[in-house]
């Protein structure tokens, strides 16, 4: 008949074997010495052998006790391993920018997720744009990114899942001495004759370049030539001062030295920011249908915070007299995640 060997008995044996003193062992285990002695006798009875030789002056391990000692250590270590909480998963979140602004979508979502789930380990990463983020996602080196999903190559879109989170207003970064910099807002028609920098040539932001091409083509505007793209706020300010062309951006971004941000109006161009992730979640897991995939709990937490922010601040509601690209219209219609008022 199997013997039920409680780990408590092994812990009492191990403490006594290591101290060779019943009083010290009982103190280590926060037990009464009488209770420890009873446990040792119970263990010896179950095993059918004496584990300690006792005299009035000393305690020593018997040969059977010497054999049991390494076995008891292994068993207790295995129990501790079994009962240990699972390691926290580190979730890597690409914010698309190493600079901060007053209303950057990814920054605000990450901050909300950290507040809502302090037990989750969410680490920010900066890959430059969704194009770069998508490559890291597909390679299993990233968990979440944000950006213009429609601008990714079709083969990437087929392997990734997305959730629309916000319609951002498009703006321009201009050097302070640019002819249009004095305006509080810039009508799209006023950009005729002013080539717009859409970050062409930057492999990390090809999706943003494609969005810029859609926007400029829809309004009869031209793109500035390909230049050596800047990295970081300071370099972007120097780049704008050197080239002089307005650069396409969104409202709520960082303030740059010698640069102003002006929203575009008449119409108000919008770009759809999506939360993008691998439908299979952790690298190496089987991939379900990306359209119905349920994200990992940590990614679901981020998605939930994005949805709560969006609902509270009407992130997916279109303002009057706005322009939305055809790919964004299709994504919104497919997802149907806009508030009811925004769908009417």
The four Cα atoms 37, 41, 47, 48 give a dihedral, to 10 degrees, of: 150
Domains belonging to the chain, first-starting first, are: 7-83 (1.10.10.10), 90-343 (3.40.190.290)
The residues that bridge with 93 in the sheet, in sequence order, are: 124, 144
* pTM, full prediction: 0.72
Mean pLDDT of the chain: 89
- Give the mean model confidence (pLDDT) for residues 146-153: 96
171 φ, ψ to 5°?
Answer: -140, 180
How many separate helices (H) and strands (E) can be counted in the chain? 12, 11
At residue 141, the pLDDT reads 94
Question: Strand pairing partners for 171?
Answer: 249, 263
DSSP secondary structure of 102-163: TT-HHHHHHHHHHHH-TTSEEEEE--SSHHHHHHHHHTTS-SEEEE-GGGS-HHHHTT-EEE
pLDDT digits (tens, 9 = 90+) for 220-258: 999 998 777 777 788 889 989 999 999 999 998 778 899
Per-residue model confidence as pLDDT tens digits over 200-213: 989 999 999 999 99
pLDDT of 343 > 50? The answer is no
The pLDDT value given to residue 277: 96
pLDDT at 91 over 90: yes
The pLDDT assigned to 101 comes to 63
**Confidence (pLDDT) at 225:** 84
Say if residues 186 and 262 touch (Cβ distance below 8 Å). Answer: yes
Distance CA 229, CA 225 (A): 11
Read off the pLDDT band of 294 (50, 70, 90): low
| Contact by Cβ (8 Å): 28, 21 | no
């Amino acid at each position: 008949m199997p013997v039920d060997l409680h780990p408590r008995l092994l812990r009492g044996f191990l403490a006594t074997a290591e101290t060779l003193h019943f009083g010290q062992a009982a103190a280590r285990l926060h037990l009464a010495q009488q209770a420890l002695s009873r446990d040792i006798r119970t263990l010896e009875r179950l095993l059918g052998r004496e584990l300690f030789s006792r005299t009035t002056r000393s305690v020593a391990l018997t040969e059977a006790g010497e054999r049991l000692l390494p076995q008891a250590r292994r068993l207790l270590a295995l129990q501790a391993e079994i009962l240990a909480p699972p390691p926290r998963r580190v979730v890597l979140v690409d914010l698309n920018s190493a600079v901060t602004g007053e209303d950057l979508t990814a920054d605000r979502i990450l901050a909300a997720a950290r507040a809502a789930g302090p037990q989750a380990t969410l680490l920010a990463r900066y890959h430059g744009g969704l194009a770069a983020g998508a490559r890291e996602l597909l390679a299993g080196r990233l968990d979440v990114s944000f950006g213009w999903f429609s601008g990714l190559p079709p083969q990437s879109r087929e392997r990734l899942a997305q959730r629309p989170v916000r319609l951002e207003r498009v703006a321009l970064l201009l050097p302070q001495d640019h002819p249009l910099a004095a305006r509080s807002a810039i009508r799209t028609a006023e950009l005729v004759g002013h080539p717009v920098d859409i970050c062409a040539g930057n492999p990390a932001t090809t999706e943003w370049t494609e969005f810029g091409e859609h926007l400029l083509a829809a309004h009869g505007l031209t793109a500035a030539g390909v230049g050596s793209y800047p990295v970081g706020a300071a370099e972007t300010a120097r780049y704008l001062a050197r080239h002089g062309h307005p650069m396409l951006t969104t409202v709520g971004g960082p303030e740059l030295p010698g640069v102003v941000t002006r929203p575009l109006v008449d119409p108000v161009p919008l770009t759809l920011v999506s939360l993008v992730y691998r439908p299979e979640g952790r690298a190496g897991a089987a991939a379900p249908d990306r359209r119905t995939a349920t994200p990992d709990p940590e990614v679901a937490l981020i998605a939930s915070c994005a949805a709560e922010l969006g609902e509270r601040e009407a992130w997916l509601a279109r303002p009057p007299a706005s322009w939305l690209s055809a790919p964004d219209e299709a994504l919104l219609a497919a997802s149907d995640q806009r508030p009811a008022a925004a769908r009417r």
